[in-house]
Amino acid sequence: MSSIRSKHTLLVAAGAALVLATTAACSSSSSGTGSGSAGGAAHKKVRLITGVKSDPFYITMTCAAQNEAKAKGMDFSADGSAQWDVSVQRPLLDSVAAARPDGLMISPVDTSALTPSLKQIQSSGTKLALVDTTVSDTSVGITRISSDNEKGGRVAADALAKLMNEKGSVIVISVKPGVSTTDARIKGFTEEMAKYPDIKVLPTLYDNDLPATAASQIQSTLAAHPDLGGVFAGNTNTGQGIATGLKHAGKQGTVKVAAFDAEPDETAALKAGSLQVLVAQDPAAIGKQAVDQLAAAFEGKPVDKAVGTNMVAITKANMNDPAVSKYFYKSGC
């Protein structure tokens, strides 16, 4: 959850990719037992647990991971939380712990609550790859693959500041505290906005990943702060809710919105003018790289401890460029 610094060129640089390091990533099936021992990637049992399985960001990740695993002859399957909640993801981890696969790719929905379970799985011999989100304990995982979310927040801040003519109030609406990716986006955004003295940053609001809540929050904010000129949406569902709330308030296009990710509803909103900037991640690269790093570990080859992936700023002006539109997320494999 999903997933996005040049101060004055973001909106005119058609398809300007913000390269952090590169790589690629979605689901499959099978069974068997695993030990995590080296000796080749073929036939190794690997599992993927995503944040929210219905989210196109994670669907895109799963599709690419599935394709890469199939190409390497791995036994692959994927599952994900029905919602962004520790209590929902924990049973999935318990199932993996019982199955003891050779490798596990996971997007933990909290930076600390799931760490004991992950350490137990790791100690049993399963190799862990953290994808998209992470945990604070650096001993967990042989590799961590994600976007530079803090930089994405900075990009969003610069884009909004330009659209707002560097004045007025701006607000961040995000999922909930304690999520590594969105926490980093907020940090980058608020730090970058400090460079614009005539823009007032309002206290961050959290919608618990519910679009209806975000829609209500943005309407309440408009009522309390008529000078509101910009909104930063921390993830996809929030962006959708903000767009809906602004439309109902008659402020669509007047209040500028920068949102993370490039899911189908978001790209439609960009085209319609409800959103002005999408900071797209590369979930396909994340999934592909996770499989590749696990394969390297199985084969006794060096593993990259941290892998960054591309991001690109998408606007209405560049969204039809094939070099940019390839970053749009999928709703199915």
pLDDT in tens, 181-208: 899 999 999 999 999 999 999 999 999 9
Residue type for 118, please? Answer: L
20-147+282-309 shares its CATH topology with 149-280: yes
Buried-state track 161-173, b at ≥16 Cβ within 10 A, e below 16:
bbbbeeebbbbbb
End-to-end CA distance of the chain: give it in Å, rounded: 19
Nearest to 119 by CA among 97, 98, 102, 87: 97
pLDDT in tens, 215-239: 999 999 999 999 999 999 988 889 8
3-class state of residue 205 by DSSP: strand
CB within 8 A of 165, min separation 6: which ones? none
The mean pLDDT of 246-255, rounded to a whole number, is 92
Q: Does the pLDDT at position 323 exceed 80?
A: yes
Rg for the chain, CA atoms, rounded = 20
Class of domain 20-147+282-309: alpha beta
Domain ranges of the chain: 20-147+282-309, 149-280
pLDDT in tens, 122-170: 999 999 999 999 999 999 999 999 988 898 999 899 989 999 999 999 9
Nearest to 146 by CA among 137, 135, 160: 135
By DSSP bridging, strand 277-280 and strand 311-314 are antiparallel
Look up residue 203 and give its DSSP letter.
Answer: P
Residue with tokens 């712990």: 97
For the chain, the average pLDDT equals: 87
Quote the strand ranges of the chain, DSSP E: 17-18, 45-52, 75-81, 103-106, 127-131, 143-146, 168-174, 199-201, 205-206, 228-233, 256-260, 277-280, 306-308, 311-314
pTM: 0.74
**Residues 63, 96: Cα–Cα separation, whole Å:** 20
Of 251 and 274, the structure prediction assigns the larger pLDDT to 251
pLDDT in tens, 56-108: 999 999 999 999 999 999 999 999 989 889 999 999 999 999 999 999 999 99
Quote the strand ranges of 141-227, DSSP E: 143-146, 168-174, 199-201, 205-206
Fold of 149-280: Rossmann fold (3.40.50)
